[in-house]
Structure formats: C-alpha cells, structure tokens
Chains A and B, each alone.
Chain A
C-alpha cells in the first residue's frame, strides 16, 4: 500500500469520526433537512467531474465527464435549494409566517 493511499485513508477515517461527532444527536424534525443537506454535500463529486470533463481527451471521455457534471450539479443545486425550502417552513409560531 502506497504512502499516498495511507495519507488519504487517514483523512477519510478522521473525517468519518468528525462527522459522527459533529452531527451527534439530531432532533427528529431535522432528519429530512439533514439528509437532503448532506446529500447536497455529497455532490462535491462535481469537483471531480469538472476536472475530468475539462481535460483534453477523447470525445467519449469528455462525454462521460459532462454527463457527470450535469448529474452532480443537479445533486448540488437541487439538494441545497430544497433543503433551504424545507427549513424556511419550520417556524416556532404560526404568526411568523403570515
């Protein structure tokens, strides 16, 4: 196993622990927003898609990359927007909304 892979594994494992710590106990009302919000974060794969699509490569390669960009962007934009839409509905008192 190469040095580079080991370093990456370090980062990966530590970040998982950070995730467990940071989220910890989530109130039930936030289960859906947490899921859709973290889902949007997993759209970070868009970064990979951009790199892959922007290289000078064969047509097939670019096609795969652009397709990946479209999907990842839907994931990111749709995820963050729909999370915000849900969260703005949560109000403590009904009057706040009218």
Chain B
C-alpha cells in the first residue's frame, strides 16, 4: 500500500469509485419511490463502503492509526445518534448531520491550503479557487446548520432575528468574503488571511439563517442539504476526485428539488423565504373573521360525542403534534374511531412541521399505515364531505385567509381546506398565533370548536371518553 503510486492500483481504486457513484445513483433512484426506498438506502450505503475501502488502498495514505481512531469515533457517535434520536427531533438531527458534512469539506480544503502554506504543495489557480469555494460553502453550511439546529432544538428563539440594515450588512460581508477569496487566490499562500476567510465563512452561515423563522425551516434544511452536497463536490475539485464530484452534484440536485417543492408548497419564492424575515412581527388582526367574534370552545366529552357519531373524520396534524409528541395518541384515537366504523384519514400539508415530510415520519413511527396519509391536492375535495376535521397543532396551513385575504402575509399559499368540513375541532394550547405570527380566522368560524390544552392530554381525554362509551 505504501510507496510510489502504482498505475494498476490507481485504476482499481478509480474503478471502485465508479461503482460507488453508480450505486449512489441507483440508491437515489430507489429512495424516490416507496416500494424501493429501503433497498435504495442500502445500495447507497454499500456504495459508500466501497468508496471508503478503496480509498484506504490509496498510495497517498501511509499512516492508519489516526484514521482508525477517527473512523471508530465517528461511527460510534453516528450509531448512537441514529439509534437514540426521537422521531420528533428528526429536523434537528438532519441539520446536525448536514453541518458535519459541510464542516468536513471545509476542513479538507483547509488542510490542502495548509500544505500550500507549508510549501509541500503548489496548487494551480484553478485548484486554489476550488479550495476557497469548498471552504466558503462548507463553512457556511456548518454554521448555518448549527443555527438551524439551535432554533429547532429551541436553544434559541425560533423567531426571525433581525436588525436595521441587516440586508446591507449581509451583502457587505458576503461581498467582502468573495473579494478576500479572490485576493487569496491571486497572492502567495497567506495562512493568516485564510483563517480570517474561514471565520467570515462561518459568520455568513450565521447571518444567513438568523433572519429565517421556524415555519420556514423546511426550506432552510433542504437548502443546507443541497449546500453540503455542493461543498463535497467542491472538495472533489480540490482533490481531483470524481466520486466526490459526482456524489456532491447528486446531493446538490436532490436538495434543490426539495427546496423547490417546499417553496411551491408555500407559494413563495426562494428569495422571499430567505430574505423577508417571515413571521418576525405578530400581526394583530388582519381582515375578516375576528371582528367582534369570539371563539367557541368545547369539552372533551362534547368532542368525543361529535367524533363517535361521525361517519368520516380527517385529522390535520401540524408542528404542535410534534411538540407535544402526541403521534401515538392520535393513532390510538383513530383506531378507536375506525373500530366504530368511522372512516379516518390524515391530511398532510407539504410544509407541516419543521422539515420536508416531518408529519409522515412522525405518524409512521406511531404505526399509522401510510395509505391513510393523504397529500393536500387529493384530500382537499374530500373535506366538504367530511363530518369532522380535527386540527392538531396546525395553524397557518389551515388558515382560510390564504385563499381570499389579499392583505394576509400568507395570501396565495395552498392550504388544507379543513374549514369546509361540517365541524372543525381545533386542538390548541392557547390562542397564541402560529409560527408565522398571523391570526387564524378558522378559529372564529361558526363551525369551529376549540379544544384547549396540550394536544397529547386532549387526545388521551378523547380516547378515555370514547372508551367509557359515548
């Protein structure tokens, strides 16, 4: 394994990389369809194993001790995280892993630059440029993901953090980073300014995510996902390694696709999501609905009667379901209703929760069969024929203002037509507005009843009532 580069060995390693790249493509293809998803993930994992093992045979690697330490430590942490993470905490987990990938790419770029500064390497301008890109994108992916993690974990406020002149300052910092990177490429190795650029990259990531609110996290996470791929791809340019380039590009593309889907589900452009600090102000009252009207609440007993004698019920879960970890209680209630002959479905909005597909994962954990989870366009015509819609911790995605109130910040966003059901029961902790900070006229409708309290407790109460024979 040691010594001079052998051409045969190199060919073998590169062939293994080709196999790995093909396995990644097959894996991603599998991951985009329900029947093949698990196998797809396995193929991709095998591809990764092939790439790692092949790399270990590279002539460049002469010392294995530290590599082993790194691999064992990383694998240990990875297994621990994957085994113990709660399904409700999955958005944070994805953010964390994204960040780690970005950081690794930035570190590799730094290592290459260090060699340049130490005089063991004299990279061309091309390579130096990709080193800078890898550092910048990897660094901002890391710090941006950490801020996203902190927001999701509620270590810090999930509301947008803004200050006057924010966009101007951000533009200056970003422009400065580009200039500094360009200058670093032009001049001889300069380690101190390279360190400055690394810090600036981290600052950009922080400035990028700070003004984005919790409700827009699905977009941010998808975008950071894309960035982590592009950072890996740039590292491939640095090391002239095709498997890195191909995989990075694939992940970059998949992240962009998800980002687009999320933006479309909110009827907002990417720039609007990133720069409008959506939800920073709580609008007092907007438009029709609330004027002089009061919400009507009901007791769990009344709600149980409504549900028990309904023919059809649609559950509409939102982020509140994840917060109170009530997914198992929903499933229990749904099964109880089904055993009484009630037809039960779940309506899933694409951006319900804090990451793409958040609700699907939560309900799957609670053993809800996935054909019961219906996507927005399919379920919307069914609300009219539904006796009871039960909104659990969802808010903006069922706000009818999106359909008609042009003054509403969410006007034009496709919503679930829960308000069209004969009766709507809203499970909600209090009358606080949702994450986007907008009053919801659904709560004031004549056919809406509020069931106040923690979602899990309310659902448990409903189950008890139904069991005690309504």
B107 at the interface (CB under 8 A from A): yes
B284 at the interface (CB under 8 A from A): no
Q: Are B52 and A50 in contact (CB under 8 A)?
A: yes
Q: Are A50 and B348 in contact (CB under 8 A)?
A: no
Number of A-B contacts (CB under 8 A): 406
Counting chain A CB atoms within 10 Å of each CB, the highest count among B85, B221, B253 belongs to B253
Q: How far is the CB of A67 from chain B (nearest CB, A)?
A: 6
Given known contacts A4-B126, A66-B70, A68-B111, A39 and B97 CB-to-CB distance under 8 angstroms: yes
> In the complex the two chains form, what is the Cα distance from A39 to B347 in whole Å?
27
Q: Are A48 and B257 in contact (CB under 8 A)?
A: no
The one of B20, B44, B257, B335 that contacts A37, using a Cβ cutoff of 8 Å: B44
Q: Return the CB mask of B229-260 against A: 1 if under 8 Å, else 0.
A: 10111011111111111111111111111100
User: Which residue of chain B has the shortest Cβ distance to A4 in the bound complex?
Assistant: B240
B25 at the interface (CB under 8 A from A): yes
User: Which residue of chain B has the shortest Cβ distance to A69 in the bound complex?
Assistant: B70
Q: Are B237 and A89 in contact (CB under 8 A)?
A: no
Q: Are A38 and B229 in contact (CB under 8 A)?
A: yes
When distances are taken between beta carbons in the complex, the residues of chain B under 8 Å from A53 are: 66-67, 70
Given known contacts A33-B37, A56-B63, A11 and B107 CB-to-CB distance under 8 angstroms: no
Q: Return the CB mask of A54-75 against B: 1 if under 8 Å, else 0.
A: 1111101110111111111111
Q: Return the CB mask of B69-107 against A: 1 if under 8 Å, else 0.
A: 111011101110111010100100110011011011101
Q: Are B78 and A33 in contact (CB under 8 A)?
A: no
Q: Are A81 and B31 in contact (CB under 8 A)?
A: no
Q: Are A16 and B253 in contact (CB under 8 A)?
A: yes
Q: How far is the CB of B7 from chain A (nearest CB, A)?
A: 18
The B409-431 residues at the A interface (CB cut-off 8 A) are none
Q: Are B94 and A37 in contact (CB under 8 A)?
A: no
Q: Are B32 and A25 in contact (CB under 8 A)?
A: yes
Q: How far is the CB of B53 from chain A (nearest CB, A)?
A: 10
Q: How far is the CB of A42 from chain B (nearest CB, A)?
A: 4
When distances are taken between beta carbons in the complex, the residues of chain B under 8 Å from A36 are: 90, 93-94, 97
Q: Are A15 and B249 in contact (CB under 8 A)?
A: yes
Q: Are A33 and B244 in contact (CB under 8 A)?
A: no
Q: Are A68 and B108 in contact (CB under 8 A)?
A: yes
Given known contacts A80-B45, A90-B370, A71 and B34 CB-to-CB distance under 8 angstroms: no
The one of B66, B97, B238 that contacts A62, using a Cβ cutoff of 8 Å: B66
Q: How far is the CB of B189 from chain A (nearest CB, A)?
A: 14
Q: Are B32 and A91 in contact (CB under 8 A)?
A: no
The B106-135 residues at the A interface (CB cut-off 8 A) are 107-108, 110-112, 114-115, 118, 120, 124, 126-127, 130
Given known contacts A77-B82, A89-B364, A27 and B27 CB-to-CB distance under 8 angstroms: no
Q: Are B75 and A72 in contact (CB under 8 A)?
A: no
When distances are taken between beta carbons in the complex, the residues of chain B under 8 Å from A73 are: 70-71, 73-75, 77-78
Given known contacts A66-B67, A80-B41, A88-B38, A26 and B105 CB-to-CB distance under 8 angstroms: no
> In the complex the two chains form, what is the Cα distance from A32 to B41 in whole Å?
12
When distances are taken between beta carbons in the complex, the residues of chain A under 8 Å from B373 are: 29
The one of A2, A76, A98 that contacts B78, using a Cβ cutoff of 8 Å: A76
When distances are taken between beta carbons in the complex, the residues of chain A under 8 Å from B20 are: 44
Q: Are B74 and A38 in contact (CB under 8 A)?
A: no
> In the complex the two chains form, what is the Cα distance from A5 to B130 in whole Å?
10
User: Which residue of chain A has the shortest Cβ distance to B78 in the bound complex?
Assistant: A77
Q: Are B83 and A55 in contact (CB under 8 A)?
A: no
B361 at the interface (CB under 8 A from A): yes
Q: Are A49 and B97 in contact (CB under 8 A)?
A: no
Q: How far is the CB of B325 from chain A (nearest CB, A)?
A: 15
When distances are taken between beta carbons in the complex, the residues of chain A under 8 Å from B384 are: none
Q: Which 9 A-B pairs have the closest CB atoms?
A: A73-B74, A19-B253, A54-B61, A77-B78, A31-B357, A69-B70, A15-B249, A31-B356, A81-B82
17 further A-B pairs in the complex, CB-CB below 8 A; given A18-B253, A27-B34, A66-B66: A15-B250, A19-B249, A19-B252, A27-B375, A29-B34, A32-B94, A32-B358, A35-B94, A45-B235, A48-B105, A50-B52, A50-B61, A57-B115, A74-B81, A77-B74, A84-B45, A97-B367
